Each structure stands twice: as C-alpha cells, then as structure tokens.
Amino acid sequence: MVTKLDVVQALLPKITVPQKSSGVAFAPSNIALCKYWGKRNVELNLPVTSSLSISLSNLGACTKVSLADAATDQIILNNEVVASNTVFYRRIVQFLHLIRPTKDTVFNVTTKTNIPVAAGLASSACGFAGLVLALADLFEWPLALEQLSILARMGSGSACRSLWHGFVEWQVGSQANGLDSYAYPLEYHWPELRIGLLLVDKSQKPQTSSEAMQCTVETSPFYSLWPKTVSQALQETHAALASKDFWSLGAVAEANALAMHALMLSSTPAIIYSQAPTLDYMQRVWRARAEGLAVFFTQDAGPNLKLLYLVKDEAKIKELFAEVQCVAPFEAVPHTAECLYDL
C-alpha cells in the first residue's frame, strides 16, 4: 500500500532546509458546488469522484510556520495554544511528521482563521492549504501549486481546492499513488456571484466529515449511484458557468448537496447534520424562489447553509435573511501580506 510518506518522498526526494526564518501564507475557505463525498483510498484521501468549488475570498486561514528550539511542536490557533492531547493537535502534528527534514525538527505553527473551526465551513480546507503554502514558503520547495495541492489533500481532501481563489476543480485521478489527483483553477470569472453564509451553529460538529463519509460509503444502499450523479452535476455546472446561467448553476448545486445529505440519511446509523433552523432556512429559500427570487442553497458536513445568489438581489436577500454574512468571491481577494499583519 502506498503511504502518505511515499507520496511526500516522491514529490520532495531531497531533504530540504528552511530558507528563511518563517514561512507565511493565506488560504481561502472553499465551498463545493459539486461535492466530494467518499474516498477510494482512505490513507491518501483519494476521492471517488471529481469535485468543483468556489473559494470564499478573504475568509480563510493565515498561517505562519517557523522552526522552534523546543521539545515538541507548538500550535497556536486564534491566539490560544492548542493542547497536545486534542484531535486537532494530533492531526496537524501527524501532517508535520511527513515533512520534518530530521526527526529533531520542531515547528511553531501560528494560525488565525476568520471562520468558525470545524463547523462545516471548510476550516480544515483553508487550514491545511494555508499550512502547506506556509511550509512551501519556509522551505522554498521547488513545487508547482498542483503538487502542493497533493500535499494539502493528504491533510484534508477538500484542502487541495483551497490553494486558489475563484472556481476550482479537483480531478479524481486514477493512479494508485494519487499523483494525478489534485486541484487546479478554472477560467470562469463571475464577479456578480455571491455566497451568503447562514450560521446555524458555530460549535464543533459531532462527527467529522471523514467518519461520516466512510459510514456512507460502507452502508448507504444508494452510494453506487453517487459517481454518476456527480459526473452529471459536473457537466451541468461547467455548462452553467460557461453560459453564466445562474438558475441552472443554483439548481444543480442545491440538488447535489441534497443528494449528498440523502446518502447520509440512508446510512447506518443515519447521519443528519441539519438542525431545525437548517430546515427552516431551506423552506424560506424555497418560498423565496417560488416567488421568483433567484436564490439557492448548498450545505456541507454541518448544519450551516450557504446561499447562492447574484449581487443584484443582495438587498432582498438581506431583507429575507437579516443574519446572512455576504461573501463576494471575486472581490476583495486578499494578498497574503494583508492577512498577516497580526500573526
């Protein structure tokens, strides 16, 4: 079996040493319009299907890494030291083990996020993408972004899409080592597109997306339908993006999210991330749409909803959903330096 370390050694055959005192980077969060749900290889986070996302501009994670003269890695998240007995700490440290030049190398990792952590707002995606970009900056790895995307994928699947702004596709690939399973940016530019974040619950989700995915793949009687569903959704999404057909884009994204949640509902045990307010929001979206408003939703492994709409309807959206946080994916795209002022 190919291990994560084999992949890292294939990408970085020579031991590298830091080229500067610290590496810094920003990575945006991303929301999938065609979802990644199910792994064909759990060790390497290789997906069953391709997926397609939109990045959330200046919402994401800023990360700084440096070497430390200490016994163990230190991780600081949003100004707080992360305890070494937490799942979060272990996940990051396991990832750092893959790229430690020597076994005595110790890292300091400081991250700031402006989105809730582990609440289905793709915090692990921007977190691992930011970490990989910061490490690449520290070591000045001679790697293309697509190769860094492979490294980010091994931290968290959807992280491989968080290396770019705008629309991004993660190609499924077919090689056993996953060297052809990476993301790349798509050319489509849609400045009028908006994402509205509706937070239902900011707390950590009870079940990680990896656990939920695995349970779905192993137990849902409908999982065999998923690859065809996604491949059709991807085709329709590309067509909608190419022709800027918002109603088609929204329809396919909403249907794809609901299909993913239907798979979870049909798993044993059933997995339901929605809470009562999630369903209430869905019904409000459907009512608004029945009255002619172009608004759709998508939902990830959490209770929060993300609305899709166009800037011309923003006033109406804010009137209907007073608490919505509006994101313009093609505006205010930050430069790394702007995000790092207080790290």
Which residue's CB is nearer to ligand PMV, number 36 or number 309? 36
Question: Residues 64-103: x/- map of binding to ligand PMV (CB under 6 A)?
Answer: ----------------------------------------
Q: What is the 3-state secondary structure (H, E, C) of the chain?
A: CCCHHHHHHHHCCCCCCCCCCEEEEEEEEEEEEECCCCEEECCCCEECCCEEEEEEEEEEEEEEEEECCCCCCEEEECCEECCCCCHHHHHHHHHHHHHCCCCCCCEEEEEEECCCCCCCCCHHHHHHHHHHHHHHHHHCCCCCHHHHHHHHHHHCHHHHHCCCCCEEEECCCCCCCCCCCCEEECCCCCCCEEEEEECCCCCCCCCCHHHHHHHHHHHCCCHHHHHHHHHHHHHHHHHHHHCCCHHHHHHHHHHHHHHHHHHHHCCCCCCCCCCHHHHHHHHHHHHHHHCCCCCEEEECCCCCEEEEEEHHHHHHHHHHCCCCEEECCCCCCCCHHHHCCCC
Which residue's CB is nearer to ligand PMV, number 229 or number 313? 229
CB 48 to ligand PMV: min, Å: 11
Please give the residues from 44 up to 63 whose contact with ligand PMV meets the rule CB under 6 A.
51
CB 221 to ligand PMV: min, Å: 20
The backbone torsions φ and ψ at residue 296, rounded to the nearest 5 degrees and listed phi first, read: -135, 170
CB 271 to ligand PMV: min, Å: 11
Binding residue for ligand PMV, selected from 57, 124, 147, 229, defined by CB under 6 A: 124
Give yes or no for residue 129 binding ligand PMV (CB under 6 A): no
Please give the residues from 287 up to 306 whose contact with ligand PMV meets the rule CB under 6 A.
300-301
Give yes or no for residue 209 binding ligand PMV (CB under 6 A): yes
Q: Which stretch binds ligand PMV (CB under 6 A): 93-101, 153-161, 244-252, 316-324?
A: 153-161
Which residue's CB is nearer to ligand PMV, number 67 or number 265? 265
Give yes or no for residue 210 binding ligand PMV (CB under 6 A): yes
Size of the site for ligand PMV (CB under 6 A): 13
Which residue's CB is nearer to ligand PMV, number 110 or number 162? 162
Q: Which stretch binds ligand PMV (CB under 6 A): 14-22, 31-39, 85-93, 108-116?
A: 31-39
Binding residue for ligand PMV, selected from 25, 32, 92, 217, defined by CB under 6 A: 32
| Binding residues for ligand PMV (CB under 6 A) | 32, 35-36, 51, 124-125, 156-158, 209-210, 300-301
